[in-house]
């Protein structure tokens, strides 16, 4: 057994997590060809034999549900039932996987070579693999990995092949299908392709849902999809999308299967391949189209070191257990199973709550590396205007303090305790050499133009705006690593900010402030609906446990030693607070009336650049389009902004200035300032 996970043994309240084994250790010591060509005999659901792709398609096309929808569409469109049936066949042909073992073996061989070049280790919890193996034989299984990189679904199939588990069929976006050669290779290794949005296409939805349910009900293979719907460019968990989760729960709710096992999988990258690409996307540089040529141009990444990956297969979650006492399944007996019906409020609420619970399970098993803590400290130091950076010894002292705090808060921290702290810090800084500079014993973020876009030009040729955007790439890249650990600190950070903004130290005042911030940020972070009191109590417990607060029946008091903790925690949320405040300011100052949602991001970014250059804003992070969209979504949800329907400009934003101004004031009054950028360059 190689790389073992480290947990804090000091706190018995922390739940024990499984140990890890490094998958690549064996690959480095034996033949990749033998590995790819080995005997592969995975155990299947209740001893089924795998089904051919053509048989699966026939089962879908002959289903009662699809026939019912075909007849409906035929009546509504005036087409004959045969014409609609032919259209359904075309949709299915475009969508369906064609899993072939020969292609899987080719990928196993190729990925072994690539993974050994890119990564130091790929660590997997073997106990989780054993639980999954058991689950696959007992019930239909749905794999729900976190999604931070294109590498995720290749990695999942590679791991399952290595452990002789049934390969999953994977929901992939249609854009991958456009990649010549690679698109077909993915299809033959288990990918099925779906459109990013269906609109009101009844036939497409029927074919898609029936295809997924047929695979699931018959247990031919585990179904795999990303609950977040798309890759997170920020390394924060995204609000879950419910469409596919509704589909995979449906066979249980209708009594077609006894149970369905949902397996959350947490994939943690020490260094993300797409870090700079994501940062540029959030600054408005369009995402490159998926193409095979783009894939080969990306070969230069093979010369880089991307550290380790940790993949944690969580406890299988029984849909039957989730539904117990929540869902009355008798309602499904009133209508024939094949007749499609919209889920009622009870089902929608159940699926939504389950989705949040599953994403929280992914978060809790994310492995944090020392760099996550270092990036948090370096970002706060940079935002405080510390131009010279931090002494290496001081950074080491601070990160040890933060290591102990994060362990107290239950973080799944992978810190090698057998190595001196100074060596751990140096190793982390070295791995992320593109984001940090060490000069004369001081560490700072690499914000100068050296080695970045535009470095070939003379310094005078770089405009202040270009310099700012170049710095923002580094800052947003670092922020994405800090964000990996946000879920650990989020609830205490909301409480720390509430303590600072509440009108008094009375417990109910602090709770009101906490509740406001929690509601405001519920598009930004994974905060389970209806759990405000629970989150407040958890935050109070953690801050009392770490000695930062004293709480009695009426009051919340900050202890002498608590100021350091509360300052760190509230500083973690400050970029988000400032981002939401500046969006409010923009909507009121810049006559945003008449803007559509699509025009909003470029306009607000222009406004933010102007204020960053004059020093009215502290955090370059507020340039993130992700943060701006989340802020707008929150204002739309709260009714402070409305989207007009119909008229000349459908989708136009209508701003309630009084309400937006009030929200800006409640978020913290005046925005903190610092020297203009020109004075800092």
State how far Cα 40 lies from the chain centre. Answer: 32
142 and 224 Cβ atoms separated by less than 8 Å:
yes
Checking if the pLDDT of 508 tops 90, the result is: yes
Give the range among 122-126, 174-178, 221-225 with minimum mean pLDDT. 174-178
Nearest Cα to Cα of residue 576 among 638, 630, 519, 637: 630
Cα distance between residue 226 and residue 564, in whole Å: 38
Neighbours of 302 (CB within 10 A): 11
What distance lies between CA 66 and its chain's CA centroid?
Answer: 33
Q: How many Cα atoms sit within 13 Å of 140 on the Cβ side? A: 25
Contact in structure between 241 and 229 (CB atoms under 8 Å): yes
Burial (0-12, 13-18, 19+ Cβ within 10 Å), 510 = buried
Q: Is the pLDDT of residue 326 over 80?
A: yes
- pLDDT (mean) for 191-205: 84
Q: Which of 415, 414, 666, 410 is nearest to 539 (CA)?
A: 410
The two tokens of residue 529 are 């609906």
Average pLDDT, stretch 92-108?
90
Integer-rounded Cα radius of gyration of the chain: 26
If one counts every other C-beta atom within 10 angstroms of the C-beta of residue 199, the result is 8
First to last CA, the chain: 50
**Residue 676: is its pLDDT beyond 70?**
no
359 contacts 237 by C-beta, under 8 angstroms: yes
pLDDT tens digits along 105-163: 999 999 999 999 999 999 999 999 999 999 999 999 999 999 999 889 899 999 999 99
Q: Which residues contact 646 (CB under 8 A, 6 or more apart)?
A: none
Confidence of residue 342 (pLDDT cuts 50, 70, 90): confident
**pLDDT tens across 436-493, in order?**
999 999 999 998 754 343 344 454 578 999 999 999 999 999 999 999 999 999 999 9
Rounded average pLDDT over 253-274? 95
**Rounded-to-integer distance, Cα 128 and Cα 286, Å:** 38
Average pLDDT over residues 562-590: 95
Q: How many residues does this entry show for the chain?
A: 681
| 503 token code pair | 């009108």
What is the pLDDT at residue 298?
Answer: 57
User: Which is nearest to 248 in space by CA: 296, 318, 197?
Assistant: 318
Q: How confident is the model at residue 287 (pLDDT cuts 50, 70, 90)?
A: low
| Paired strand residues for 439 | 442
Mapping DSSP onto H, E and C, the string for 610-648 reads HHHHCCCCCCHHHHCHHHHHHHHHHHHHCCCEEECCCCC
Q: Which of 527, 625, 619, 637 minimizes the C-alpha distance to 238?
A: 527
Q: 42 vs 47, 130, 160, 191, 260, CA distance in Å?
A: 10, 13, 9, 18, 19
pLDDT score of 496 more than 50: yes
Predicted pLDDT of residue 209 = 93
Predicted local distance difference test score (pLDDT) of residue 468: 94
- In this prediction, residue 8 carries a pLDDT of 34
Q: Higher model confidence: residue 181 or residue 576?
A: 576
By three-state DSSP, how is residue 307 classified?
A: coil
Angle at 159 between CA 156 and CA 161, to 5 degrees: 110
pLDDT confidence bin for 284, thresholds 50/70/90:
confident
Other beta carbons less than 10 A from residue 463's beta carbon: 11
Q: pTM of the entire structure?
A: 0.91
Cβ-count burial 55-80 (b if 16+ within 10 Å, e if not): ebbebbbebebbbebbebbbeeeeee
**Which residue has 């540089």 as its token pair?**
285
H/E element holding 653?
Answer: strand 653-655
Q: Which helix (H) or strand (E) holds 256?
A: none
**pLDDT at residue 339, as a whole number:** 79
* Distance separating alpha carbons of residues 578 and 612, to the nearest angstrom: 12
Examine the pLDDT at 618 and tell me if it is beyond 50. Answer: yes
How far is the C-alpha of 556 from the C-alpha of 537, rounded, in Å?
Answer: 12
Average pLDDT score, the chain? 88
pLDDT at 327: 87
Q: Are 143 and 317 in contact (CB under 8 A)?
A: no
The Cα 259–Cα 249 span in angstroms is: 9
- Beta-ladder partners of 652: 596
Give residue 454's pLDDT. 39
pLDDT digits (tens, 9 = 90+) for 27-69: 999 999 999 999 998 888 776 777 777 888 899 999 999 999 9
Q: Three-state SS for 260?
A: coil
* E strand residue ranges, 315-377: 317-318
Query: What integer is the mean pLDDT of 627-651?
Result: 88
| Close Cβ partners of 156 (under 8 Å, ≥ 6 residues apart) | 143, 145, 168, 170, 224, 265, 267, 311
Give the DSSP letter string of 33-61. Answer: HHHHHS------GGGPPPPPHHHHHHHHH
Q: What is the pLDDT of residue 180?
A: 62
């Amino acid at each position: 057994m190689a790389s073992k996970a480290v947990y804090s043994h000091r706190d018995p309240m922390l739940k024990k997590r499984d140990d890890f084994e490094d998958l690549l250790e064996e690959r480095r010591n034996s033949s990749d060809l033998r590995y790819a060509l080995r005997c592969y005999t995975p155990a299947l659901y209740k001893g089924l034999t795998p089904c051919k792709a053509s048989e699966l398609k026939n089962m879908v096309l002959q289903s009662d549900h699809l026939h019912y929808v075909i007849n409906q569409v035929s009546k509504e469109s005036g087409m004959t039932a045969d014409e609609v049936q032919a259209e359904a066949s075309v949709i299915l042909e475009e969508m369906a996987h064609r899993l072939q073992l020969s292609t899987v073996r080719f990928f196993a061989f190729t990925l072994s070579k690539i993974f050994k070049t890119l990564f130091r280790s790929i660590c997997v919890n073997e106990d989780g693999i054993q639980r999954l193996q058991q689950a696959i034989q007992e019930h239909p299984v749905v794999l729900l990995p976190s999604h931070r990189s294109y590498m995720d679904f290749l990695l999942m199939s590679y791991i399952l092949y290595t452990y002789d588990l049934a390969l999953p069929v994977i929901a992939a976006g249609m854009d991958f299908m456009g990649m010549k050669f690679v698109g077909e290779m993915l299809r033959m290794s288990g990918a099925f392709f779906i459109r990013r949005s269906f609109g009101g296409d009844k036939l497409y939805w029927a074919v898609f849902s029936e295809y997924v349910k047929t695979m699931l009900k018959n247990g031919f293979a585990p179904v795999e999809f990303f609950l977040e719907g798309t890759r997170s460019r920020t390394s924060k968990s995204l609000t879950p999308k419910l469409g596919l989760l509704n589909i995979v729960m449906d066979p249980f709710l209708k009594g077609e299967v006894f149970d369905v096992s949902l397996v959350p999988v947490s994939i943690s990258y020490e260094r993300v391949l797409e870090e700079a690409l994501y940062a540029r996307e959030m600054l408005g540089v369009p995402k490159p189209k998926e193409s095979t040529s783009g894939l080969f141009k990306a070969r230069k990444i093979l010369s880089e070191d991307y550290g380790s990956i940790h993949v944690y297969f969580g406890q299988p979650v029984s849909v039957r257990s989730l539904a117990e006492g929540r869902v009355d399944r008798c309602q499904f007996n009133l209508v024939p199973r094949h007749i499609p019906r919209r889920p009622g409020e009870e089902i929608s609420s159940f699926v939504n709550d389950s989705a949040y619970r599953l994403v929280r399970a992914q978060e809790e098993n994310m492995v944090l590396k020392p760099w996550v803590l270092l990036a948090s400290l370096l970002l706060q130091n940079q935002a405080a205007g510390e131009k010279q950076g931090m002494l290496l010894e001081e950074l080491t002292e601070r990160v040890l303090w933060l290591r102990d705090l994060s362990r107290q808060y239950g973080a799944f921290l992978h810190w090698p305790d057998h190595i001196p702290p100074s060596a751990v810090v140096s190793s982390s800084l070295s791995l992320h050499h593109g984001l940090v500079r060490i000069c004369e014993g001081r560490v700072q973020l690499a914000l100068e133009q050296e080695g970045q876009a535009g470095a070939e030009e003379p310094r005078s040729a770089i405009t202040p705006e270009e310099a700012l955007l170049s710095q923002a790439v580094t800052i947003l890249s670092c922020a994405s690593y800090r964000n990996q650990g946000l879920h650990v600190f989020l609830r205490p950070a909301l409480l720390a900010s509430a303590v600072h903004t509440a009108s008094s130290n009375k417990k109910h005042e602090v709770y009101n402030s906490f509740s406001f911030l929690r509601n405001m940020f519920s598009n930004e972070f994974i905060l389970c609906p209806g759990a405000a009191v629970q989150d407040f109590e958890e935050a109070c417990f953690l801050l009392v446990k770490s000695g930062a607060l004293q709480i009695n029946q009426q009051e919340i008091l900050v202890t002498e030693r608590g100021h350091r903790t509360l300052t760190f925690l509230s500083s973690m949320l400050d970029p988000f607070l400032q981002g939401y405040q500046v969006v409010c300011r923009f909507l009121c100052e810049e006559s945003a009336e008449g803007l559509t949602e699509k025009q909003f991001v470029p306009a607000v970014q222009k406004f933010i650049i102007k204020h960053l250059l004059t020093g009215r804003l502290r955090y370059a992070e507020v340039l993130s389009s992700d943060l701006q969209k989340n802020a707008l979504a929150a204002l739309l949800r709260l009714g402070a902004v409305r989207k007009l329907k119909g008229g000349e400009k459908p989708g136009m934003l209508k701003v309630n200035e009084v309400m937006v101004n009030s929200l800006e004031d409640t978020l913290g009054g005046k925005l903190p300032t610092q020297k203009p950028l020109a004075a800092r360059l």
